[in-house]
Chain A
Amino acid sequence: MKKLLLLVLFALVTLVTYAGGYRVSVQGQRAMAMGHTGVAVVNSAELVFFNPAGLVYLENKLNVSVGASGIFTDVIYQNSDFGSSSETDSSVGTPLNLYGSYKVNDWLALGLGVYTPYGSEVTWPTDWAGSHLVNNIELAAIYIQPVVSIKLSDQFSIGGGPIFVTGSVNFNRNANRTLADIDGNRSNITVDDSGVTNWGWSVSAMFNPTENFRLGFSYRSEIILEAEGGEATFSNFPNSPATPANGTTTFDAELPLPAELTIGLSYQFHKKWLFAFDYNRQFWDVYESLDIQFGNGSTSLNPRNYKNSSVYRFGLQYDATSKISLRAGYYFDESPVQSGFFAPETPRNDSNGFSGGVSFAITPKLAIDASFFYLRFEEVNESYDFYQENGQNVPFRGTYKSSAFAPGLGLTYKL
């Protein structure tokens, strides 16, 4: 029976997705294993992220969940008109999460979370066909959030708290398709900044109509990261008054971390089986353009024009034994990128995600959580049409295909 379940799990695992844009939805090993559902699942301190209101319903006084995943992503590109092809350097992203909650009394719980919901790491071969759009990018945002969870009744609770964000960015691309120095080295610009901070907030609620049925709601505010006075490095520009000088200057830019609304449910339809469904609405329309203003007077305007997008998540949990819980999930992740705005720095189209995982209780207090997901993207013919040369739009088009695979490990402790 156990073997069979494992096989089922592996079979299920052949399907998983992660998130559109530069949202990285890996905020808990248990949730991840269930298709990253959790707004209505009362299971662990992962609720700090998924739904702080639910923390107060956790049975134990102290709950801690920590985890990390290694995301292996690959993107391939080709253009059959020109016979060009490229593949990203398989980068490994490592989203991590630390959550803790403490039940002060029957109606109040406090929590703290550190998690990384946004990030991107894409490295194309230097000077590849799309190098005028991006050579490589590394984007990270760490959220630190204290939360409060208040039980208004056995049926209803609310929660939320402020979010402190610190972000960093490193982005390199060539100046245009052809500019080079006397030796043919392509002129390029790197922008680099870290310690860019700002504040946001989240609110949530949980409603338990019956003992086995929960409804959840959660909203996390948008946060705009404003890089001011970051370092921009101009390299390999020709020695000419007609082009920017080599060396460092400053840059200002804004990157939005969009708001996200989640509603969902969980239903314990058998004493060993739990079903969960989450719906995420991500408010990407705030990302209209990536505009960089350089200290040397140059500017770089890059329309993005993202649209709001939805993710549909389904998860299943089976408590096989008192020590082992098996989980599986599926989600459909809609890309916020509109046709014609497909920039190779975030080459994401719609994707299907398949996840699975297991928790093993080493002791009644301590459990190991393992999860993995596989994100499957359809091959897509797309273009970014808003790169300009001499005031004229020059589309960069081709066929893209991506995949992501992420195994993760975590620990859950309760007291």
Chain B
Amino acid sequence: MKNNIKYLAILALGLVACEPEFDNPIDEAGVYSSGEADFSNFVALGNSLTAGFADNALYITGQENSYPNILSQQFALVGGGEFTQPLMADNVGGFAGQTDRFPPRLVLAFDAEGNPGPSLYTGAAPSTDITTNLGVSFNNMGVPGARVYHLGFPGYGALNPYFGRFASEPNATVIGDAVAQNPTFFSLWIGNNDILGYATSGGVGLDHNVTGNMDPSTYSPQGLDITNSGTFDSTYRQLIAALTANGAKGVVLNLPNVTTLPFFTTVPFAPLSPLDPNFGPQIPTLNATYAGLNAAFAFAGVPERAISFSTSAASPVVIKDESLDDVSADLAVALAGTFGPLAPIVAAQYGQARQATANDLLVLTSSGVIGQVNEARLTELIGFGLTPEQAGQFSVNGVSFPLEDQYVLTPAEQSSVENARQAFNTTIATVANANDLAFYNVSNDLTQAANGGIPFDGGVITSDFVTGGGFSLDGVHPTPRAHALVTNGIINAIEIAYGATLPSVNPGDYGTVTLSNEVN
């Protein structure tokens, strides 16, 4: 009997020995390493990009696919700790009862003709409560909408509910709550909104590199202005100083060119097709009307602003360019014969009008208004005494009513954005270098995505709207697949800076846009 037990024991040992084991299991030491870095407490700071905001909303799966969260899963192989995120209540996005300011996400829906397009998801109502404070701080401190100076702004939680959800106290700052977590490693990707808010709104805000205003508390509360470069520089240095005070290492990312975003590259400057049944037949009438205006432009000394529509090719939209001299007064004189007492009104409409060129960037949101009657203008013109019919003729966005400033980023506005970006990026690279931080030039990769694309095992990731795979349906924020690319870029930067060895992630394992026909 004793012997039998012995044999049974040997048999049991044999069973255990049967478990397969790799020569070099990846979960054992020696395969990967953290190098000089310590990932045990990783805190990510930034804006919507860091938070995982996508499809114009913050929702759970977007947060789960945020680059800091993906990164933390790779860090976990080399001593990384738990990575917590302030998860929203659902995958709808937006805040309950606040859909005017915080609408639900966009999904890719197909209309009755089978054409895909972004639509507001209506399968469920937003259920995240805007006032609930989750009571703790999180490893992902990304706050959608945050600008560089917001991170150190006491009481920012009252202005921005995304921070309000997890601010440690009413007067808390993002940077304060981050430092209080004593991170051993941090990431910082901030500054995008300091230029993007101006760009996505077509440059209606102010460029504080022109105004010289260095006091962000006086900047547009809607976030429409460009932050002064000096302000950016000093604020950014303060953030890094706070994060590195206890010796933490980290990675910083620079800012991509806005012209790499489909939000600015999807709507063509010449979208008016003669084949469009709503537009083509009107071309002769429009050209006849514009002939009179063109004569007035000549009279005003700006014949180059002449407007006409081609009957054989798509024509550029008519836009209002605020950088042009306003020639309303001259136009009013020239048009008096045709329009009589209405001449000043018509003249004012075209005082800074011109047709768009390839150098103008039409924002994504313009696609929904071009060719549509501008109701506000219609009402206004009727108020001025035009007949409803006349008023209607002068109220078609981009055709008879110049596309308003908010829909067009003109070359002058693009320069403002680009100059600020270059200055911000200089600060970021300089500060990274001075503090021996890992630096990821994400701008380079986005330029690559916009110019030929970035190959992966299932194709090529480009900046093309919807089909490119890199951008979510708002045209600004990345898809999970692009977050995977950013993760790989960061990993590469960390390996270079700190001698770490980390596995990358496969972008092909991460999705792009979400399909749903649960839309109204």
Answer whether A and B are interacting partners: yes
Contact of A239 among B18, B459, B511, B517 (CB under 8 A): B517
A107 at the interface (CB under 8 A from B): no
Give the complex CA separation of A26 and B211 in angstroms. Answer: 85
Instruction: Give A407's nearest chain B residue, CB to CB.
Output: B11
Give Cα A84–Cα B121 distance, bound, in whole angstroms. 33
Measured between beta carbons, the chain A residues less than 8 angstroms from B23 are: 379
Complex Cα spacing A179 to B510, Å: 9
Q: Is the CB of A184 within 8 A of B64?
A: yes
Q: Chain A contacts of B503 at CB under 8 A?
A: 80-84
Q: Bound complex: CA of A403 vs CA of B19, how far in Å?
A: 7
The reply on A243 being an interface residue by CB < 8 A is yes
Report whether A239 and B123 are in contact in the complex, using a CB–CB cutoff of 8 Å: yes
A105 within 8 Å of B (CB atoms): no
Shortest CB-to-CB span from B57 to chain A, Å, is: 12
User: What 0/1 pattern do residues 166 to 184 of A give for CB contact below 8 A with B?
Assistant: 0000000000011111111
Contact with B along A256-284 (1 / 0, CB 8 A): 00000000000000000000000000000
Q: Chain B residues with Cβ under 8 A from A80's Cβ?
A: 24, 26, 31, 503
The residues in A between 372 and 399 inclusive whose CB is less than 8 angstroms from any CB of B are 374, 377, 379, 389-390, 392, 394-395, 399
Interface size (A, Cβ < 8 Å)? 45
In Å, the complex CA distance between A81 and B109 comes to 36
Is A394 a contact partner of B457 (Cβ separation < 8 A)?
A: yes
Whether A182 contacts B516 by the Cβ 8 Å rule is yes
Chain B contact surface mostly: loop
Q: Are A85 and B7 in contact (CB under 8 A)?
A: no
- CA gap between A6 and B18 in the complex, in Å: 20
B20, A402: Cβ atoms closer than 8 Å: yes
Given the complex of chains A and B, what is the CA–CA distance between A184 and B458 in angstroms?
Answer: 20
Cβ proximity bits A76-90 to B, threshold 8 Å, 1 near / 0 not: 101011111100000
Separation of A392 and B11 alpha carbons in the complex (Å): 49
Interface check B66, CB cutoff 8 A: no
Q: Is B428 an interface residue (CB 8 A)?
A: no
Residue of B nearest to A3 (CB): B3
B340 CB-CB contact with A under 8 Å? no
Q: Which of B425-461 contact A (CB under 8 A)?
A: 457-459
A14 to B22 Cα, complex, angstroms? 18
A6, A182, A404: which contacts B514 (Cβ < 8 A)?
Answer: A182
Across the interface, do A82 and B110 meet the contact criterion of CB distance under 8 Å? Answer: no
* A129 B509 Cβ-Cβ under 8 A: yes
**Chain B hits for A403, CB < 8 A:** 18-20
- The residue in chain B whose Cβ has the minimal distance to the Cβ of A14 is B14
Known: A83-B74, A184-B91, A403-B18. A238 touches B26 (CB 8 A): no
Chain A residues within 8 Å of B21, by CB: 76, 401
**B window 1-45: CB within 8 A of A:** 3, 7, 10-11, 14-15, 17-27, 31-32
Q: For chain A residues 46-79, which have a beta carbon within 8 Å of chain B?
A: 72, 74-76, 78
Give every chain B residue within 8 A of A6 (Cβ-Cβ). 7
Q: Do the beta carbons of B7 and A10 come within 8 Å of each other?
A: yes
Q: Does chain B have a CB within 8 A of A298?
A: no
B509 engages A182 (CB within 8 Å): no
User: Whole-angstrom distance from the CB of B38 to the nearest CB of chain A?
Assistant: 18
A80 CA to B18 CA, complexed, in Å: 23
Asked if A13 CB lies within 8 Å of chain B CBs, one says yes
Which parts of B92-130 form the interface with A (CB within 8 Å)?
107-110, 114, 116, 121, 123
- Residue B512 CB within 8 A of the other chain: yes
Q: Is there a chain B Cβ closer than 8 Å to A241's Cβ?
A: yes
Distance between A87 CB and nearest chain B CB, rounded to angstroms: 9
Interface membership of A363, Cβ < 8 A:
no
**Residue of A74, A85, A241 touching B19 (CB-CB under 8 A):** A74
B residues near A374, Cβ cutoff 8 Å = 14, 18
**Contact between A13 and B14 (Cβ–Cβ < 8 Å)?**
yes
The answer, among B10, B24, B505, for a CB contact under 8 Å with A82, is B505
CB-CB under 8 A for A392 and B458, given A80-B503, A85-B27, A239-B123: yes
A240 contacts the other chain (CB 8 A) = yes
Interface size class of B (residues with CB under 8 A): 35 or more
Chain A residues, Cβ within 8 Å of B121: 182
**A377 to B19 alpha-carbon distance, docked (Å):** 11
Residue among B18, B23, B61 with max Cβ neighbours from chain A (10 Å): B18
In this assembly, does B77 line the interface, its C-beta being within 8 Å of a C-beta of chain A? Answer: yes
Nearest Cβ distance between residue B2 and chain A, in whole angstroms?
A: 12
Q: How far is the CA of A377 from the CA of B504 in the complex (A)?
A: 28
Cα–Cα, bound, A177→B32 (Å): 26
Interfacial chain A residues near B109, Cβ < 8 Å: 240
Contact among B10, B481, B504, B511 with A180 in the assembled complex (CB-CB below 8 Å): B511
Name the A residues within 8 Å of B518 (CB-CB). Answer: 182, 239
A242 on the B face (CB < 8 A)? yes
Contact B14 A10 (CB under 8 A): yes
| Complex partner residue of B91 from A75, A84, A182, CB under 8 angstroms | A182
Is A332 among interface residues, defined by CB-CB distance under 8 A? no
> How many angstroms from the CA of A181 to the CA of B517 in the assembled complex?
11
| B348 contacts the other chain (CB 8 A) | no
Closest residue of chain A to B123, judged by CB? A182
- Nearest CB of A to B489, in Å: 15
Smallest CB separation, A186 vs chain B (Å): 10
CB of B504 within 8 A of CB of A82, answer yes
**Nearest B residue (CB) for A237:** B515
Nearest chain-B residue to A401 (Cβ)? B20
| Alpha-carbon distance A6/B64, docked complex (angstroms) | 56
B154 within 8 A of A: no
Does B458 lie within 8 Å of A177, measured CB to CB? yes
- Chain A residue nearest to B456 (CB atoms) is A394
Contact B110–A78 (Cβ < 8 Å):
no
Does B81 belong to the interface (CB within 8 Å)? no
Report the minimum CB–CB distance from A264 to chain B (whole Å). 28
Q: Is the CB of A238 within 8 A of B514?
A: yes
Kindly list chain B residues whose C-beta atoms are within 8 Å of the C-beta of A72.
15, 18
Residue contact B505 to A389, C-beta cutoff 8 Å? no
CB contacts (< 8 Å) of B114 on chain A: these are: 241
A1-30 interface code vs B (CB 8 A; 1 in, 0 out): 001001000100110000000000000000
* B516 and A239 form a contact (CB under 8 A): yes
Interface: B336 (CB within 8 A): no
A405 contacts partner chain B, Cβ-Cβ < 8 Å? yes
Query: In the assembled complex, which residues on chain A have CB atoms less than 8 Å from the CB atom of B332?
Result: none
> Interface readout for B45-85 with A: 1 if CB under 8 Å, 0 if not?
00000000000000011001000000000100100000000
Report chain A residues within 8 Å CB of B24.
80
Question: Chain A CB within 10 Å — which of B11, B22, B77, B503 has the most?
Answer: B22
The answer to whether A242 and B510 touch across the interface, beta carbons within 8 angstroms, is no
Chain A residues near B27: list those with CB within 8 A: 85
Which residues of A approach B to under 8 Å, CB–CB? 3, 6, 10, 13-14, 72, 74-76, 78, 80-85, 129, 177-184, 238-243, 374, 377, 379, 389-390, 392, 394-395, 399, 401-405
* 7 pairs, A vs B, C-beta closer than 8 Å: A80-B503, A178-B512, A180-B61, A182-B518, A183-B91, A242-B515, A394-B458
> Would you list the 5 A-B pairs with minimal beta carbon distance, nearest first?
A83-B503, A178-B511, A240-B515, A184-B61, A401-B20
